[in-house]
Amino acid sequence: MSLTHRPYQSAADLPFLLDWLGRHAHSAYMHPGDLVWWLRQNEVVDPARALDLYFSGAGDLAGFVFSDPPTWAVLQGRDDLAPDDWQQMIKVAENKAGEPVTFNAYTGEMPGARVQALRRAGYVPASTDRLARLYRVPGPADLAAAPLPAGFRFTDMGRADVSEADRVDLHRAVWHPSRVTVDAYRTLRAAPNYLPELDVVIVGPAGEPAAYALGWFDEVSRAGLLEPVGTLAEFRRRGLGRQLVREMTRRLAGLGAEGVTIGTRESNGAAMGLYQSAGYHVTGYWVDYRRTSLT
């Protein structure tokens, strides 16, 4: 297969890419929510520089490469891509960066074509600090409400009791330093797959935001994603994080999710323990692949 490629051109490309990810969920690295979060979590990422779209001779989208910064990239492609197609995508990303690229690839139950292509190009796993993929298939028990400690309650951004500014301040406090801004958050909320009922906040006894999670649901693949999830330091070790994950799982299951994914660093023992305590289990890892030179 001979591929042509072009950069992301306009906002019209976004729903096109989201639909492709949903229809190719079995072979894709990314959930549609991943793409929106990566593109719109701040005002720094330029989609025209971060995305290259690849097309087959028939004009069908065969895959794409996300790279931001240019030295870190993710390959997305259909199952029927030939080895030469993957090599083309790797080479274009290398030329774009002008130096060795770190490629992130999933190693788990999904097809390993990306990893095989990277190894053929001389790339090897770069670190033992992998990003774990934790996964849960919702069952009847997940439809029950998740109780919170006395004085705490769930709300979401479909209601009026947490402002956009407070929601952004909560994220920035949890993930300090953070480049998220109110303007970026508004752009995120305008994404076609953003659902305010999956933008959930736990409010404390004094009405203060204490924890939050942003969920994503893809109607095509029936797949759910939590990205990101966070609790303020002063509210940790109260069981809020576990109950937040359970509430998000409940909401996603109610929408029809047949599986829900969360990602976290394997070295983050607290997060790993939290998600596993909420019924999630590791199914694979996202691993960085590098080589030392382009020659």
Tell me the three state secondary structure of residue 142. helix
DSSP designation for 220: T
Question: What pLDDT does residue 113 have?
Answer: 78
pLDDT tier, 223 (very low <50, low <70, confident <90, very high otherwise): very high
Distance CA 24, CA 137 (A): 19
Establish whether domains 4-128 and 136-285 are of one fold: yes
What are the sequence ranges of the domains in the chain? 4-128, 136-285
User: Residues 112-158: pLDDT tens digits?
Assistant: 778 888 999 999 988 778 999 999 999 999 999 999 999 999 999 99
Tell me the three state secondary structure of residue 85. helix
CATH code of 136-285, in short, is: 3.40.630.30
User: Residues 168-187: pLDDT tens digits?
Assistant: 999 999 999 999 999 999 99
Average pLDDT, integer, range 15-33 = 91
**What residues have CB less than 8 Å from 36, skipping those under 6 apart?**
14, 18, 188, 191, 193, 194, 216
Tell me the three state secondary structure of residue 162. coil
Question: What pLDDT does residue 294 have?
Answer: 73
HSE-CB of 86 using CA atoms within 13 angstroms: 22
What is the pTM (predicted TM-score) of this model? Answer: 0.94
Burial of 177 per CB tally in 10 Å (0-12, 13-18, 19+):
exposed
Residue 98 identity (one-letter amino acid): G
Residue 209 has which token pair? 């935001």
Distance CA 213, CA 175 (A): 13
Tell me the three state secondary structure of residue 105. strand
Q: Average pLDDT, whole number, for the chain?
A: 94
Average pLDDT, integer, range 34-59 = 96
One of 3.30.70.360, 3.40.630.30, 3.40.640.10, 1.10.3470.10 is the CATH number of 4-128, namely 3.40.630.30
User: Residues 72-88: pLDDT tens digits?
Assistant: 999 999 988 988 999 99
